[in-house]
Chain A
Amino acid sequence: MYPAINFGPLVLPTAPFIILIGVWVCLVLAERVAGRLGLDAVIMSGLVTTGIIAGFIGARLTFVFLYWPAYQNNLLGILWPINSGFNVWGGIFFGAAAMFFYGRGKQIPTAPYLDALAPVLVTGLMFFSLADFLGGPGFGTFTHMPWGIESYDMSRHPVQLYEIAVGALALLAWWYFQNRHLFEGQLFLITTVVYGFGRLFVDAYRENTWIAPGGWHGLQILSLLAVLAALFLLMRGSQNAKAAST
Protein backbone atom coordinates (compact mmCIF):
# COMPACT_ATOMS: atom_id res chain seq x y z
CA MET A 1 0.00 0.00 0.00
CA TYR A 2 2.76 2.40 0.98
CA PRO A 3 6.09 0.92 -0.17
CA ALA A 4 7.91 4.11 0.78
CA ILE A 5 7.31 7.12 2.99
CA ASN A 6 8.58 10.46 1.76
CA PHE A 7 10.11 12.93 4.20
CA GLY A 8 11.00 15.77 1.85
CA PRO A 9 13.92 14.51 -0.24
CA LEU A 10 14.31 11.45 2.01
CA VAL A 11 12.55 8.27 0.88
CA LEU A 12 12.12 5.73 3.66
CA PRO A 13 11.25 2.16 2.62
CA THR A 14 8.24 1.25 4.79
CA ALA A 15 8.70 -2.51 5.27
CA PRO A 16 12.30 -2.43 6.61
CA PHE A 17 11.38 0.58 8.78
CA ILE A 18 8.45 -1.30 10.38
CA ILE A 19 10.62 -4.40 10.89
CA LEU A 20 13.27 -2.24 12.58
CA ILE A 21 10.62 -0.92 14.99
CA GLY A 22 9.51 -4.54 15.50
CA VAL A 23 13.04 -5.57 16.47
CA TRP A 24 13.18 -2.82 19.07
CA VAL A 25 9.74 -3.72 20.47
CA CYS A 26 10.71 -7.42 20.64
CA LEU A 27 13.91 -6.63 22.55
CA VAL A 28 12.06 -4.46 25.07
CA LEU A 29 9.30 -7.07 25.40
CA ALA A 30 11.83 -9.88 25.93
CA GLU A 31 13.31 -8.12 28.96
CA ARG A 32 9.89 -7.33 30.44
CA VAL A 33 8.49 -10.83 29.92
CA ALA A 34 11.61 -12.35 31.47
CA GLY A 35 11.13 -10.16 34.53
CA ARG A 36 7.45 -11.11 34.75
CA LEU A 37 8.24 -14.85 34.63
CA GLY A 38 11.16 -14.54 37.04
CA LEU A 39 13.85 -15.31 34.44
CA ASP A 40 17.22 -13.67 33.85
CA ALA A 41 16.46 -10.60 31.70
CA VAL A 42 20.06 -10.34 30.45
CA ILE A 43 20.10 -13.94 29.21
CA MET A 44 16.66 -13.52 27.67
CA SER A 45 17.77 -10.36 25.91
CA GLY A 46 20.91 -12.14 24.68
CA LEU A 47 18.82 -15.04 23.42
CA VAL A 48 16.53 -12.79 21.38
CA THR A 49 19.41 -10.64 20.08
CA THR A 50 21.29 -13.77 18.99
CA GLY A 51 18.20 -15.05 17.19
CA ILE A 52 17.63 -11.75 15.41
CA ILE A 53 21.26 -11.32 14.28
CA ALA A 54 21.63 -14.96 13.19
CA GLY A 55 18.25 -14.83 11.46
CA PHE A 56 19.26 -11.67 9.59
CA ILE A 57 22.61 -13.12 8.46
CA GLY A 58 21.06 -16.52 7.70
CA ALA A 59 18.31 -14.98 5.60
CA ARG A 60 20.88 -13.03 3.62
CA LEU A 61 23.26 -15.97 3.10
CA THR A 62 20.43 -18.27 2.04
CA PHE A 63 19.35 -15.68 -0.53
CA VAL A 64 22.93 -15.37 -1.81
CA PHE A 65 23.17 -19.18 -2.03
CA LEU A 66 19.92 -19.38 -4.03
CA TYR A 67 21.03 -16.60 -6.41
CA TRP A 68 24.72 -17.44 -6.51
CA PRO A 69 25.18 -16.59 -10.24
CA ALA A 70 24.39 -12.98 -9.37
CA TYR A 71 27.11 -12.87 -6.73
CA GLN A 72 29.91 -15.12 -7.95
CA ASN A 73 31.57 -12.30 -9.87
CA ASN A 74 30.57 -9.67 -7.36
CA LEU A 75 31.46 -10.91 -3.88
CA LEU A 76 31.15 -7.42 -2.45
CA GLY A 77 27.49 -7.61 -3.42
CA ILE A 78 26.97 -10.17 -0.64
CA LEU A 79 27.65 -7.44 1.91
CA TRP A 80 26.09 -4.53 0.08
CA PRO A 81 23.30 -3.62 -0.54
CA ILE A 82 22.23 -5.15 2.74
CA ASN A 83 18.69 -3.78 2.54
CA SER A 84 17.58 -6.16 -0.18
CA GLY A 85 17.60 -9.88 -0.81
CA PHE A 86 16.55 -12.08 2.11
CA ASN A 87 15.09 -15.57 2.37
CA VAL A 88 12.55 -15.97 5.19
CA TRP A 89 12.97 -19.73 5.65
CA GLY A 90 16.75 -19.39 5.87
CA GLY A 91 16.28 -16.67 8.48
CA ILE A 92 13.95 -18.84 10.57
CA PHE A 93 16.30 -21.85 10.39
CA PHE A 94 19.48 -19.97 11.29
CA GLY A 95 17.75 -17.83 13.94
CA ALA A 96 16.26 -20.88 15.67
CA ALA A 97 19.55 -22.80 15.48
CA ALA A 98 21.50 -19.88 16.95
CA MET A 99 19.03 -19.52 19.84
CA PHE A 100 19.25 -23.27 20.49
CA PHE A 101 23.05 -23.18 20.72
CA TYR A 102 22.98 -19.96 22.78
CA GLY A 103 20.64 -21.69 25.23
CA ARG A 104 22.88 -24.75 25.35
CA GLY A 105 25.93 -22.58 25.92
CA LYS A 106 24.30 -20.71 28.79
CA GLN A 107 22.78 -23.97 30.11
CA ILE A 108 19.37 -22.40 30.52
CA PRO A 109 16.25 -24.51 31.11
CA THR A 110 14.41 -24.79 27.78
CA ALA A 111 10.75 -24.77 28.84
CA PRO A 112 10.59 -21.53 30.91
CA TYR A 113 12.54 -19.61 28.30
CA LEU A 114 10.24 -20.93 25.58
CA ASP A 115 7.33 -19.60 27.66
CA ALA A 116 8.99 -16.20 27.69
CA LEU A 117 9.90 -16.37 24.00
CA ALA A 118 6.32 -17.08 22.87
CA PRO A 119 4.92 -13.53 23.09
CA VAL A 120 8.16 -12.12 21.65
CA LEU A 121 7.96 -14.40 18.61
CA VAL A 122 4.27 -13.66 18.06
CA THR A 123 4.91 -9.92 18.35
CA GLY A 124 7.74 -10.21 15.82
CA LEU A 125 5.44 -12.06 13.42
CA MET A 126 2.77 -9.38 13.89
CA PHE A 127 5.29 -6.71 12.89
CA PHE A 128 6.21 -8.77 9.81
CA SER A 129 2.52 -8.89 8.89
CA LEU A 130 2.21 -5.12 9.42
CA ALA A 131 5.28 -4.48 7.26
CA ASP A 132 3.81 -6.76 4.61
CA PHE A 133 0.48 -4.92 4.79
CA LEU A 134 1.97 -1.43 4.50
CA GLY A 135 4.81 -2.01 2.11
CA GLY A 136 5.19 -5.68 1.35
CA PRO A 137 4.36 -7.87 -1.60
CA GLY A 138 1.62 -9.90 0.12
CA PHE A 139 -2.04 -9.53 -0.77
CA GLY A 140 -5.32 -11.31 -0.16
CA THR A 141 -7.85 -13.09 -2.34
CA PHE A 142 -10.76 -11.26 -3.97
CA THR A 143 -13.72 -10.42 -1.74
CA HIS A 144 -17.06 -8.64 -1.86
CA MET A 145 -17.04 -8.18 1.92
CA PRO A 146 -17.39 -4.54 3.05
CA TRP A 147 -14.03 -4.66 4.88
CA GLY A 148 -12.15 -5.59 1.70
CA ILE A 149 -9.34 -3.21 0.77
CA GLU A 150 -8.53 -1.91 -2.69
CA SER A 151 -5.39 -3.69 -3.79
CA TYR A 152 -4.15 -4.26 -7.34
CA ASP A 153 -7.38 -2.78 -8.72
CA MET A 154 -9.64 -5.19 -6.84
CA SER A 155 -11.27 -5.47 -3.47
CA ARG A 156 -9.25 -8.03 -1.51
CA HIS A 157 -9.16 -9.57 1.95
CA PRO A 158 -6.78 -7.59 4.19
CA VAL A 159 -5.10 -10.89 5.03
CA GLN A 160 -2.17 -9.34 6.87
CA LEU A 161 -4.59 -7.61 9.24
CA TYR A 162 -6.22 -11.00 9.85
CA GLU A 163 -2.75 -12.33 10.73
CA ILE A 164 -2.26 -9.44 13.16
CA ALA A 165 -5.64 -10.24 14.76
CA VAL A 166 -4.58 -13.88 15.14
CA GLY A 167 -1.37 -12.70 16.80
CA ALA A 168 -3.38 -10.51 19.18
CA LEU A 169 -5.54 -13.52 20.11
CA ALA A 170 -2.44 -15.61 20.80
CA LEU A 171 -1.01 -12.83 23.00
CA LEU A 172 -4.33 -12.63 24.83
CA ALA A 173 -4.22 -16.40 25.47
CA TRP A 174 -0.64 -16.11 26.76
CA TRP A 175 -1.66 -13.23 29.03
CA TYR A 176 -4.68 -15.14 30.38
CA PHE A 177 -2.71 -18.27 31.20
CA GLN A 178 0.46 -16.64 32.51
CA ASN A 179 -0.68 -16.95 36.14
CA ARG A 180 -2.70 -20.10 35.59
CA HIS A 181 -0.28 -22.47 33.92
CA LEU A 182 0.37 -25.88 35.42
CA PHE A 183 3.78 -26.68 34.02
CA GLU A 184 6.74 -24.96 32.39
CA GLY A 185 6.41 -24.83 28.62
CA GLN A 186 2.62 -24.71 28.76
CA LEU A 187 2.45 -21.03 27.82
CA PHE A 188 4.57 -21.65 24.72
CA LEU A 189 2.38 -24.59 23.70
CA ILE A 190 -0.89 -22.71 24.24
CA THR A 191 0.41 -19.77 22.21
CA THR A 192 1.47 -22.20 19.45
CA VAL A 193 -2.00 -23.79 19.38
CA VAL A 194 -3.84 -20.44 19.14
CA TYR A 195 -1.47 -18.80 16.66
CA GLY A 196 -1.02 -21.95 14.57
CA PHE A 197 -4.75 -22.61 14.30
CA GLY A 198 -5.41 -18.98 13.47
CA ARG A 199 -2.79 -18.92 10.71
CA LEU A 200 -4.20 -22.19 9.36
CA PHE A 201 -7.56 -20.44 9.04
CA VAL A 202 -6.46 -17.09 7.58
CA ASP A 203 -3.92 -18.52 5.13
CA ALA A 204 -6.87 -19.53 2.95
CA TYR A 205 -7.34 -15.82 2.20
CA ARG A 206 -3.74 -15.17 1.13
CA GLU A 207 -3.29 -14.97 -2.64
CA ASN A 208 0.49 -15.30 -2.76
CA THR A 209 0.83 -18.14 -0.34
CA TRP A 210 3.15 -21.13 -0.66
CA ILE A 211 1.29 -23.74 -2.73
CA ALA A 212 2.61 -27.28 -2.33
CA PRO A 213 2.27 -29.92 -5.08
CA GLY A 214 -1.36 -30.89 -5.51
CA GLY A 215 -2.63 -27.39 -4.80
CA TRP A 216 -2.35 -27.68 -1.01
CA HIS A 217 -1.48 -24.62 1.05
CA GLY A 218 1.91 -25.58 2.52
CA LEU A 219 1.63 -23.20 5.48
CA GLN A 220 -1.76 -24.64 6.47
CA ILE A 221 -0.34 -28.17 6.59
CA LEU A 222 2.66 -27.02 8.66
CA SER A 223 0.32 -25.10 10.98
CA LEU A 224 -1.94 -28.11 11.53
CA LEU A 225 1.04 -30.34 12.32
CA ALA A 226 2.39 -27.74 14.78
CA VAL A 227 -1.02 -27.41 16.47
CA LEU A 228 -1.47 -31.18 16.80
CA ALA A 229 2.06 -31.61 18.17
CA ALA A 230 1.50 -28.77 20.67
CA LEU A 231 -1.84 -30.26 21.76
CA PHE A 232 -0.21 -33.65 22.31
CA LEU A 233 2.57 -32.09 24.42
CA LEU A 234 -0.02 -30.06 26.34
CA MET A 235 -1.89 -33.28 27.17
CA ARG A 236 1.31 -35.03 28.29
CA GLY A 237 2.42 -32.03 30.34
CA SER A 238 -0.96 -31.58 32.03
CA GLN A 239 -1.18 -35.25 32.98
CA ASN A 240 2.39 -35.28 34.32
CA ALA A 241 1.74 -32.12 36.33
CA LYS A 242 -1.42 -33.61 37.84
CA ALA A 243 0.33 -36.88 38.62
CA ALA A 244 3.13 -34.98 40.34
CA SER A 245 0.71 -32.93 42.46
CA THR A 246 -1.22 -35.96 43.75
Chain B
Amino acid sequence: MFNSRFEWAIIFLIVLLLGGAWIIESRESNIEPQNFLLTEAPLVGHLAPDFTAQTIDYETFALSEYVDREGENGRPVVLNFWASWCGPCRMEMPAFERASLKFADRAAILGVNQAESAETIERFAQTTAVTYPLLIDEDQNINYKYAVTNLPTTIFVDAQGVIREVFVGTMNQAVLENKINALLEE
Protein backbone atom coordinates (compact mmCIF):
# COMPACT_ATOMS: atom_id res chain seq x y z
CA MET B 1 0.00 0.00 0.00
CA PHE B 2 1.78 3.15 1.20
CA ASN B 3 5.49 3.04 1.84
CA SER B 4 6.51 5.83 4.16
CA ARG B 5 5.12 7.45 7.26
CA PHE B 6 4.81 10.65 5.22
CA GLU B 7 2.44 8.99 2.74
CA TRP B 8 0.37 7.59 5.58
CA ALA B 9 0.28 11.03 7.22
CA ILE B 10 -1.00 12.57 3.98
CA ILE B 11 -3.77 9.95 3.71
CA PHE B 12 -4.65 10.43 7.37
CA LEU B 13 -4.86 14.19 6.87
CA ILE B 14 -6.95 13.92 3.70
CA VAL B 15 -9.45 11.59 5.39
CA LEU B 16 -9.60 13.84 8.46
CA LEU B 17 -10.14 16.99 6.38
CA LEU B 18 -12.65 15.49 3.96
CA GLY B 19 -14.55 13.62 6.67
CA GLY B 20 -14.50 16.59 9.03
CA ALA B 21 -15.63 19.01 6.34
CA TRP B 22 -18.47 16.70 5.32
CA ILE B 23 -19.58 16.30 8.94
CA ILE B 24 -19.63 20.09 9.37
CA GLU B 25 -21.50 20.46 6.08
CA SER B 26 -24.08 17.85 7.13
CA ARG B 27 -24.67 19.34 10.57
CA GLU B 28 -28.31 20.18 11.25
CA SER B 29 -28.25 23.86 12.09
CA ASN B 30 -31.97 24.37 12.64
CA ILE B 31 -32.65 21.89 15.40
CA GLU B 32 -33.43 24.51 18.04
CA PRO B 33 -37.14 24.33 18.92
CA GLN B 34 -37.87 27.90 17.81
CA ASN B 35 -36.49 27.19 14.34
CA PHE B 36 -37.86 23.67 14.01
CA LEU B 37 -39.90 23.36 10.88
CA LEU B 38 -42.69 20.89 11.44
CA THR B 39 -43.16 18.71 8.40
CA GLU B 40 -45.25 15.61 8.04
CA ALA B 41 -43.14 12.56 8.79
CA PRO B 42 -43.53 9.29 10.65
CA LEU B 43 -41.21 10.53 13.37
CA VAL B 44 -41.54 11.65 16.94
CA GLY B 45 -41.61 15.44 17.02
CA HIS B 46 -42.98 15.78 13.50
CA LEU B 47 -46.54 16.37 12.36
CA ALA B 48 -48.52 13.15 12.03
CA PRO B 49 -49.26 12.55 8.33
CA ASP B 50 -52.92 13.24 7.67
CA PHE B 51 -55.12 10.51 6.22
CA THR B 52 -58.71 9.66 5.47
CA ALA B 53 -60.05 6.13 5.81
CA GLN B 54 -63.30 4.22 6.06
CA THR B 55 -64.55 1.87 8.71
CA ILE B 56 -66.38 -1.37 7.98
CA ASP B 57 -69.59 0.58 8.69
CA TYR B 58 -68.73 2.99 5.82
CA GLU B 59 -68.00 5.84 8.20
CA THR B 60 -65.16 8.09 7.09
CA PHE B 61 -62.45 9.23 9.49
CA ALA B 62 -59.74 11.83 8.88
CA LEU B 63 -56.97 12.58 11.34
CA SER B 64 -57.43 16.30 10.71
CA GLU B 65 -60.96 16.05 12.16
CA TYR B 66 -59.49 15.23 15.55
CA VAL B 67 -56.33 17.28 15.85
CA ASP B 68 -56.04 21.04 15.52
CA ARG B 69 -52.68 22.07 14.15
CA GLU B 70 -53.39 25.79 14.41
CA GLY B 71 -55.44 26.17 17.57
CA GLU B 72 -56.44 24.40 20.76
CA ASN B 73 -59.61 22.65 19.70
CA GLY B 74 -58.05 19.28 18.99
CA ARG B 75 -57.77 16.15 21.10
CA PRO B 76 -55.10 13.47 21.34
CA VAL B 77 -55.32 10.52 18.97
CA VAL B 78 -54.01 7.00 19.54
CA LEU B 79 -53.42 5.03 16.35
CA ASN B 80 -53.22 1.31 16.99
CA PHE B 81 -51.99 -0.64 13.96
CA TRP B 82 -53.20 -4.23 13.95
CA ALA B 83 -54.21 -7.26 11.87
CA SER B 84 -56.59 -10.12 12.56
CA TRP B 85 -53.81 -12.71 12.17
CA CYS B 86 -51.67 -10.91 14.75
CA GLY B 87 -52.19 -12.62 18.11
CA PRO B 88 -50.50 -9.91 20.21
CA CYS B 89 -52.71 -7.27 18.52
CA ARG B 90 -55.80 -9.19 19.59
CA MET B 91 -54.34 -9.62 23.06
CA GLU B 92 -54.05 -5.88 23.62
CA MET B 93 -57.41 -4.96 22.05
CA PRO B 94 -59.38 -5.19 25.33
CA ALA B 95 -57.04 -2.58 26.81
CA PHE B 96 -57.73 -0.25 23.89
CA GLU B 97 -61.46 -0.92 24.16
CA ARG B 98 -61.48 -0.01 27.88
CA ALA B 99 -59.38 3.09 27.20
CA SER B 100 -61.70 4.19 24.38
CA LEU B 101 -64.67 4.02 26.76
CA LYS B 102 -62.80 5.71 29.60
CA PHE B 103 -61.49 8.62 27.51
CA ALA B 104 -64.51 8.71 25.19
CA ASP B 105 -64.77 12.45 24.46
CA ARG B 106 -61.27 13.48 25.48
CA ALA B 107 -59.07 11.29 23.27
CA ALA B 108 -59.68 9.28 20.12
CA ILE B 109 -58.58 5.70 19.69
CA LEU B 110 -58.47 4.40 16.13
CA GLY B 111 -57.57 0.86 15.13
CA VAL B 112 -55.82 0.92 11.75
CA ASN B 113 -55.79 -2.46 10.09
CA GLN B 114 -52.85 -3.62 7.99
CA ALA B 115 -53.54 -4.89 4.50
CA GLU B 116 -56.69 -6.91 5.13
CA SER B 117 -60.00 -6.66 3.28
CA ALA B 118 -63.17 -5.11 4.69
CA GLU B 119 -64.76 -8.58 4.78
CA THR B 120 -61.93 -10.01 6.88
CA ILE B 121 -62.10 -7.09 9.31
CA GLU B 122 -65.87 -7.38 9.51
CA ARG B 123 -65.67 -11.13 10.20
CA PHE B 124 -63.12 -10.43 12.90
CA ALA B 125 -65.12 -7.56 14.42
CA GLN B 126 -68.15 -9.85 14.80
CA THR B 127 -66.15 -12.12 17.06
CA THR B 128 -65.00 -9.31 19.38
CA ALA B 129 -66.60 -6.63 21.47
CA VAL B 130 -64.53 -3.81 20.01
CA THR B 131 -66.50 -0.58 19.62
CA TYR B 132 -63.78 1.91 18.67
CA PRO B 133 -63.41 2.57 14.92
CA LEU B 134 -61.53 -0.09 12.96
CA LEU B 135 -60.19 1.59 9.82
CA ILE B 136 -59.67 -0.26 6.56
CA ASP B 137 -56.22 0.15 4.99
CA GLU B 138 -56.17 -2.61 2.42
CA ASP B 139 -53.70 -0.82 0.11
CA GLN B 140 -51.59 0.09 3.18
CA ASN B 141 -51.56 3.82 2.51
CA ILE B 142 -51.72 4.71 6.19
CA ASN B 143 -49.35 1.91 7.23
CA TYR B 144 -46.90 3.21 4.64
CA LYS B 145 -47.31 6.84 5.72
CA TYR B 146 -46.48 5.86 9.29
CA ALA B 147 -43.75 3.39 8.26
CA VAL B 148 -45.33 0.58 10.25
CA THR B 149 -43.28 -2.58 9.89
CA ASN B 150 -44.09 -4.48 13.06
CA LEU B 151 -47.43 -5.32 14.60
CA PRO B 152 -48.73 -4.19 16.90
CA THR B 153 -47.50 -0.60 16.67
CA THR B 154 -49.17 2.22 18.56
CA ILE B 155 -48.61 5.87 17.73
CA PHE B 156 -49.52 8.65 20.15
CA VAL B 157 -50.46 11.95 18.52
CA ASP B 158 -51.06 15.05 20.64
CA ALA B 159 -53.95 17.49 20.22
CA GLN B 160 -51.85 19.66 17.89
CA GLY B 161 -51.16 16.72 15.59
CA VAL B 162 -47.54 16.12 16.60
CA ILE B 163 -46.37 12.52 17.02
CA ARG B 164 -45.24 12.12 20.63
CA GLU B 165 -44.37 8.45 20.74
CA VAL B 166 -44.15 5.38 18.55
CA PHE B 167 -44.55 2.23 20.61
CA VAL B 168 -43.76 -1.10 19.02
CA GLY B 169 -45.07 -4.20 20.76
CA THR B 170 -47.98 -5.05 23.01
CA MET B 171 -49.14 -2.58 25.59
CA ASN B 172 -50.93 -3.14 28.88
CA GLN B 173 -53.83 -1.13 30.26
CA ALA B 174 -51.78 0.89 32.76
CA VAL B 175 -49.12 1.98 30.31
CA LEU B 176 -51.73 2.92 27.71
CA GLU B 177 -53.74 5.01 30.17
CA ASN B 178 -50.59 6.68 31.52
CA LYS B 179 -49.58 7.74 28.05
CA ILE B 180 -53.04 9.09 27.19
CA ASN B 181 -53.19 10.95 30.51
CA ALA B 182 -49.79 12.49 29.79
CA LEU B 183 -51.10 13.77 26.45
CA LEU B 184 -54.23 15.15 28.10
CA GLU B 185 -52.29 16.93 30.83
CA GLU B 186 -50.21 18.97 28.36
Contacts and interface: CB of A to CB of B under 8 A. Distances in A.
Interface of A: 1, 3-4, 6, 11, 13-16, 63, 67, 69-70, 73-74, 77, 80-81, 83-85, 135-137, 139, 152-153, 182, 197, 200-201, 203-204, 207-208, 211, 214-217, 220-221, 223-224, 227-228, 231-232, 234-235, 238-239
Nearest to A232: B12
Nearest to A223: B19
Nearest to B170: A77
Interface residues of B, number: 52
A217 B19 contact: no
B152 A84 contact: yes
B128 interface: no
Contact of A80 (B15, B88, B147): B88
A227 B115 contact: no
Contacts of A83: 150-151
B22 A200 contact: yes
Contacts of B54: none
B152 A200 contact: no
A234 B175 contact: no
A216 B22 CA distance: 11
B172 A197 contact: no
Interface stretch (B61-69, B101-109, B138-146): B138-146
Given A11-B116, A208-B43, A3 B143 contact: yes
A216 B23 contact: yes
A85 B150 contact: yes
A63 B23 CA distance: 29
